[in-house]
Structure 1
Amino acid sequence: MSSLDIAAGSSVHRDQTVEVVLLLAFAGGYLDAYTWMIHGVMANAQTANLVLLWVHGIVGEWEEALHFLAPILAFAVGIVIAAWLRRVTGERTPAISTLIEIVLLVAIGILHNRLPDLAGTLGISLVAAMQPAVFTKVEGVACSTVMITGNMRQAIEALFAATFGGPQLGTLRRSGILTALCIAFGLGVAVGAFATKNIPDLALGIPVIALLIVLLRCEAPRQEEPR
């Protein structure tokens, strides 16, 4: 029996529910679209930042290369902060880290007109790092809310197993949830691109709303599944 089979029949951690993880995937895609359109870097996809750093660096375009170094370092700082939070706050980490993300995004939105590079490139990457460091599972199964590569692989593997290994409700459920994560991330990218182009000064308000819902869900009383 898979972990999703177990989760489907018992209480699920509030930070691992499908609703919460889909909202986080939406916010993750949104922030990547925002930082790419405004600053030409990725908030979450440090692989892309690293590739572009070396592409520019290897041909001697050092100014362009260093442009991608800042978000990588800020992302690393965010990971350290998240690790520290897990150590000192325990089970409250998801809610506290989400609250910190919200406060920082509001501050970034306010500072963006005065300190665009500092607020946008460094601040958002630091915020973005906390999410994948804290929210790592959906219904007990490892996933990512800031990129789709691993989710897509797992979704296809689960679908293959269900198709050729016999009907397995838990396996099909896992494939469906991971596919939905990919879709939510893509939707976040699309909405982020549209909002950044049309309402750049207010664009960061949308992921803040998504994170506020996540915070409320993480703090909601746990409800047991009916037997």
Structure 2
Amino acid sequence: MIHLTDKNSPLHEKLEIGLLLAIVGGFLDAYSFLCYGGVFANAQTGNMVLLGITLINGDYVHFVHYLIPIIAFSFGILMTECLLKYLSGSFYIWVLITEIVILFIIAFLPDGIPQVIVTAAISFMCSIQIGSFKKICGAPYTSTMCTGNLRSAMGLLFVAISAKDSESLVQSLRYLAIILFFCIGAAVGAIFVDWWGKLSVLICCLLFFILLLLMIKDIVHIRRKQQQLADVIKK
């Protein structure tokens, strides 16, 4: 029987966490594209293609429209790498709190706010997610885009078939599960945008809150185990 989960992985690398993050990633791409002028929150490759097209067409207003989210995304990655170097295990807690706060504010921004500010904020938030949650069950992945995951899934599937390697098959299925949940998130995002408009991003806040509770529970459990071990050593 194939088991996709890995009980030995830290919580932030477990499959179920990756699946929830993938749902959010797909949701936010659909949300930003539908609500804010066709800009992708996560897929900066798409924004770069559109950036080049607007530059060639001399459409400098939309050029800036795509450039600023790319800059915000880049800055978020740099900041996340810096914080990861100096902060302790509570880093993931603060990441989720930051994402909840940013999205909650975005949900209630007035309509007069320039779209580029909102898309930059979402891109910044997504870059923090990418920079923080880098692995699933020990393997590198991205929860906010699918190209790299698809490449990894198909490469591992080839190894699984050609070498009859069951571990490669498991890893391939994990990547495919992430891709599936990303697509589900995009579909759900499109549905809720149609129903609730800009307020639909509160669904992501709810998912991040669930992740936050799981992280806090895990940290409390680890610290309790450490304290029990310390008490045993003292005796």
TM-score by length of 2: 0.86
Q: Paired residue for 1:216?
A: 213
Q: Structure 1 residue 66: deviation in Å?
A: 1.5
1:165 and 2:163 aligned = yes
Q: Paired residue for 1:24?
A: 21
Q: Percent identity?
A: 32
Tell me, which stretches of 5 or more residues in structure 1 are unaligned?
none
CA RMSD after TM alignment: 2.0
Separation in 2, partners of 1:97, 1:17: 17
Amino acid at match of 2:47: N
Amino acid at match of 1:144: T
1:77–1:126: 8 Å Cα contact kept in structure 2?
yes
1:60 maps to which of 38, 49, 58: 58
1:144 and 2:142 aligned = yes
Q: Structure 1 residue 120: deviation in Å?
A: 2.0
Separation in 2, partners of 1:195, 1:82: 30
Instruction: Determine helix, strand or coil for the equivalent of 1:200.
Output: helix
> Relative to structure 2, which stretch is displaced further, 78-87 or 60-69?
78-87
Q: Structure 1 residue 122: deviation in Å?
A: 1.8
Pairs within 5 Å for 1:106-185: 106-117=104-115, 119-166=117-164, 168-185=165-182
Separation in 1, partners of 2:166, 2:140: 18
1:84 and 2:82 aligned = yes
Amino acid at match of 1:113: D
Q: Paired residue for 2:193?
A: 196
Q: Deviations over 1:27-64 (max 9, x none)?
A: 01110111111112010111110110111101212112
> Relative to structure 2, which stretch is displaced further, 56-65 or 180-189?
56-65
Could you list the structure 1 runs, at least 4 aligned residues long, displaced by more than 4 angstroms after superposition.
none
Separation in 2, partners of 1:27, 1:155: 20
TM-score by length of 1: 0.89
Change (3 A) 1:52 1:41: same
Separation in 2, partners of 1:58, 1:123: 26
Matched residues, number: 217
Instruction: Determine helix, strand or coil for the equivalent of 1:85.
Output: helix
Q: Paired residue for 1:72?
A: 70
Separation in 2, partners of 1:63, 1:202: 27
Amino acid at match of 2:205: V
Tell me, which stretches of 5 or more residues in structure 2 are unaligned?
226-235
Amino acid at match of 2:30: A
Q: Deviations over 1:74-98 (max 9, x none)?
A: 1122223312321332322222111
Q: Which has the larger radius of gyration?
A: 2
